[in-house]
Amino acid sequence: MPLSTCVLAAALTATGAVPMAQTVQSTDAAPAVPPSTPAASGLVFAGGDGPGKGRHVVLLAGDEEYRSEESLPMLAKVLSVRHGFRCTVLFSLSRATGEIDPDEQTHIPGLAALATADFVVCAWRFRELPDADMKHFVDYVESGKPLLALRTATHAFAYSRNQASPFAHWSFDSGKWPGGFGQQVLGDTWVSHHGHHGSQSTRGVADAAHADHPILRGVADVWGPTDVYGIVRLQPGDTVVLRGQVLDGMTPDSKPVAGAQNEPMMPLLWTRERTVGAARQRLITSTIGAAIDLESEGLRRAFVNAVYWGLRMEAQIDPKASVEPVGEYRPSMFGFGTWKRGVRPEQHALPPAAATKPNRQQ
């Protein structure tokens, strides 16, 4: 299939009232594991004027490698301050200290917030939650509401501790429900690093058949230092919006690799619609999406547009609406064991000067 690159969009911005951030206390019942200390479990950005007013987006951070604990607070601020959505960000937390700990695979307090969510952004990797907590997520997915899955969310769950759990078949390696949540709901589970991890970066290239998809409205160049994932099980009804061009290097000017790695290019960002009861659920999956990847304005815009599309608000996607980070955004490079110690959720609150940031280009 012929491919075309994304069309360059104009830069953007617009003013609006800045919501206050507040901490969220977990109201979940205690799981059958040691209870957490009474600490704030996440953040709420109240939203305000804008197309997203009255809509609630819950963003779920929890992966050991790609720094979703840094990227999702940034994305929540953009959605709230720039677009009016009320946003809740939840994190994997240390039970002992209440600090953010992406290596903690079993403890993400506050998931009861999913009961009021209109949209979810999930960036989990190999989580295994207590059944009472997992039920909040399963109930959301099976409600037919929309979801954006980032990078490792194709393998969001790995059940090794409690294989008798009623949710064990959601595991990425499930045989009972082949490929678990990733394959059955999103389109594929973990397959492989198709690009060479840490030495071959990724350029997002619009699939020519879908270059006019609303998610690409206003999107310019998409590039990130993470590698392309192998994706092999998408179905004919799935829509590939971006394909992943493997680059021979770790800078935006690196050349495309010649040969089989790019012939054809792997799906990078795709959508699917899934029938859930009477609902037609909209799902978006992107295997590019590390914190460092989101320095790309084009990728941030694609994710913001994906929220609108998932909520059937594509008529309100403004190609010039701001997707600039609110305050400073200096993401860490991906890697295991490199997360910042001693950080609590409230440290990701809005900066005091956020109200002075313009929301549309002058």
> What are the pLDDT tens digits along the chain (362 aa)?
333 333 323 222 222 333 334 434 333 333 332 222 223 478 999 998 999 999 999 999 999 999 999 999 999 999 999 999 999 999 999 999 999 999 999 999 999 999 999 999 999 999 999 999 999 999 999 999 999 999 999 999 999 999 999 999 999 999 999 999 999 999 999 999 999 999 999 999 999 999 999 999 999 999 999 999 999 999 999 999 999 999 999 999 999 999 999 999 999 999 999 999 999 999 999 999 999 999 999 999 999 999 999 999 999 999 999 999 999 999 999 999 999 999 999 999 997 766 434 454 33
* Residue 161, amino acid: R
Question: Is 122 inside any structural domain?
Answer: yes
Q: Tokens for 295, please give them.
A: 């320095």
What global pTM score does this model have?
A: 0.88
The CA-atom distances, in angstroms, between 125 and each of 3, 120, 224, 245, 302 are 31, 15, 19, 24, 22
Distance, in Å, from the CA atom of 57 to the CA atom of 297, rounded to the nearest integer, reads 20
Residue 148's DSSP bridge partners are 121, 284
Answer whether residue 45 is part of any domain.
Answer: yes
Q: How many domains does the chain have?
A: 1
Residue 136 is part of which domain span?
21-193+267-346
Is 215 within a domain? no
CATH number of the domain encompassing residue 93 = 3.40.50
**Which backbone phi and psi does 61 adopt, to 5 degrees?**
-100, 140
d(CA 349, CA 19): 10
Q: Is residue 234 part of a domain?
A: no
